Amino acid sequence: MSYTQTLVPPEHATNHLLVVPEVWGPDRVRSLADAWFPEVRWLKEPRAEVAPRARGGARFRGMAAAPEPQVGPGVLGVGDEHGAAGPFAVSESQSPQAGLTGRAAVYALGRVDGTPDARVGRPATTEDRDGIARVFAAGLPDGEELRLVQWGVAVARKTGGVLLADGRQLLHPDPTSAVDLTLYAVHPLPPPELLGLLRSVVATADEEPPPAPGAAPVRLAARTPYDGTVVVESERVDRVPRALVDLDPTEYGPHAYRMVWVPQDPYELGLEQPSGVHVIARSRMRAMIARLTLLLHAKVGGAMVDDGAFLATTAEIERRTSEDQRASSRAWV
């Protein structure tokens, strides 16, 4: 029996299943879609439903508890022909089937008319950080379907969820593999001050020479002997990510500060299962970049965007600095 048969109705048997913790309700999932797609809209609004909840124990056998509110499935359009149907509730007993614990919700990703998508043949690249080429080895999604699958994997990484490709093949991206951050602020920070912030994290940080006089962006580099390099780029941009569109313009600005980790072996960034050495270094650098971003945010304000192109809250970034006891606030230099 496939996951599809137990988690969603039969009409969604050919869909990709995005499973997220229940706390990520329809409004939050729509905001994640808004960050990627230009014309997101409810083709069918989710509706409030009330379902009876059985009481436990012999004393209450056969009796129903007070009704428990639930959200009935809707259909979220995210392209010309594709969408996300849901949420479909997943009980705590069903969650382990999808690699999760606790109550969850499923969104069925695919064509809104229910017809299957054509596939374009075997992947042409060996780089497969998310495992998409692995699970679609016989035929890779194309166009809107591929974009929808990529979004589903990014959402799974953001929320700690999973994606079941074609309802069967499990993609469970590691949330801690998200390292890079970008801050969009109203006010520019002079390069010497930005360098001072970076040196408070890695004492040997320095400014990289521009390729030409006056060229943008300003580029700083903080190299470590074991964990790779943190690169910080600062420039004024003409466009900002979709994730910021619904914010008040005073909450962000055109000055972008990109904080990127370059590991000792950049090839491992494209691997679904990198080496243990890479993962340990990534853990430390994830915490370091988070700390640097918080310092910069305290200085210039603005809005933060993660490497999945989603809005990142201060609380999310603060958790990165403490989630792994092995991660140090300072790197070895």
pLDDT tens column, 246-288: 899 899 999 999 999 999 999 999 999 999 999 999 999 999 9
Return the pLDDT at 137.
82
DSSP 229-254: EEEEEEEE-S---GGGTTS-GGG--S
DSSP 186-199: SS---HHHHHHHHH
Q: In this predicted model, what pLDDT tens digit does every residue of 1-10 receive, in sequence order?
A: 355 557 788 7
Phi, psi of 330 (to 5 degrees): -130, 150
Judge if the upstream peptide bond of residue 217 is cis by omega within 30 degrees of 0.
yes
Return the pLDDT at 49.
60
Return the pLDDT at 9.
81
Mean model confidence pLDDT for the chain: 86
Q: In this predicted model, what pLDDT tens digit does every residue of 228-250 receive, in sequence order?
A: 999 999 999 999 999 998 899 89
DSSP 36-90: T-SS-EEEE--EEEEE--BPPSGGGTT-B-S-EEEEE-EEEE-SSSEEEEEEEEE
Give the confidence band of 126 by pLDDT, cuts at 50, 70, 90: low
DSSP H helices, the chain, are 3-7, 26-34, 132-135, 143-159, 191-199, 276-300, 314-322
Q: Which residue has the tokens 């048997």?
A: 13
Give the confidence band of 45 by pLDDT, cuts at 50, 70, 90: very high
Average pLDDT over residues 174-198: 95
Average pLDDT over residues 309-330: 79
Whole-number Cα distances in Å, 116 to 131, 132, 135, 329: 21, 18, 17, 48
Report which DSSP code applies to 215.
Answer: -
Average pLDDT over residues 122-148: 82
Global pTM reads 0.87
| Percent of the chain residues topping a pLDDT of 90 | 64
- Does the pLDDT value for residue 106 go beyond 60? yes
